[in-house]
A = this chain, B = another copy of it.
Amino acid sequence: MNNLDIPDIIISRLPIYLRALRHMQAQHTQTTSSQELGARVGISAAQIRKDLSQFGEFGKQGTGYNIGFLIDKLREILKVVQVWDVAVIGMGDMGHALARYQGFKDRGFRVAMVFDNNPSKVGTKVESFVIRSTQDLVTSIKQSGIKVAMLCVPAAEAQDVTDLLVEAGVKAILNYAPISLSVPSGVRVQYLDPSIGLQRMTYYME
């Protein structure tokens, strides 16, 4: 495929473009330009054109990009035409919130399974999901073929659970635990620690 040599920094911008295009589409806009899209997401028009040109010629001189068409292309590139089943590990407040989150709709993901290691939670329900024991994690995830997980366990357990996820064949982990994870190559991690986000901003404050 055209996969392996496109810089990760470009890939990381595509979901932002996709989200903004969806937003425009919801407002019944038909076309946009690199200029307009760039203004919306805070990225230069030149960069947007350069990024998109890695994957094909999606625009027309003079008129710009057809929004519906570009959305389809970005969904194909990011492989979110399909819907990915996701496992949520850790049914604390954060895991609970993710299990109930409505924002995955139409963005390529669906929570399919939830886990916790607390015996008093296992077997109870969150939304429509029966909480499974972390002891069954490897078997259940292997069996279901799930490749994507969201990790919401305490920091102290996060690496151990990660090792289980890797063993189960998970290839993408969205990590809410406040700790750096080590994973083998071929497995990806994205970090969403709120304190890290906040500390990236306080530096700039007087």
Q: List residues of chain A with CB under 8 Å of any chain B CB.
A: 3, 11-12, 14-16, 18-20, 23, 40-42, 77-80, 84, 86, 92-94, 96-98, 100-101, 103-104, 107-109, 147-148, 150, 155, 171-172, 174, 178-180, 182, 188, 190, 192-205
Contact between A190 and B180, CB atoms less than 8 A apart: no
Query: CA separation between A119 and B97, bound complex, in Å?
Result: 22
Contact between A93 and B86, CB atoms less than 8 A apart: no
A204 — which chain B residues lie within 8 A by C-beta?
Answer: 3, 11, 171-172, 188
Give the oligomeric copy count: 2
From B41, B77, B179, contact of A19 by CB (8 A)? B179
Closest B residue by C-beta to A173: B201
From B18, B42, B98, B202, contact of A148 by CB (8 A)? B202
Contact between A203 and B148, CB atoms less than 8 A apart: no
Q: A78-B202, A150-B194, A172-B198 are in contact. List 7 more A-B contacts (CB 8 A).
A: A15-B200, A40-B180, A79-B203, A80-B199, A108-B202, A174-B197, A192-B197
Query: CA separation between A192 and B203, bound complex, in Å?
Result: 19
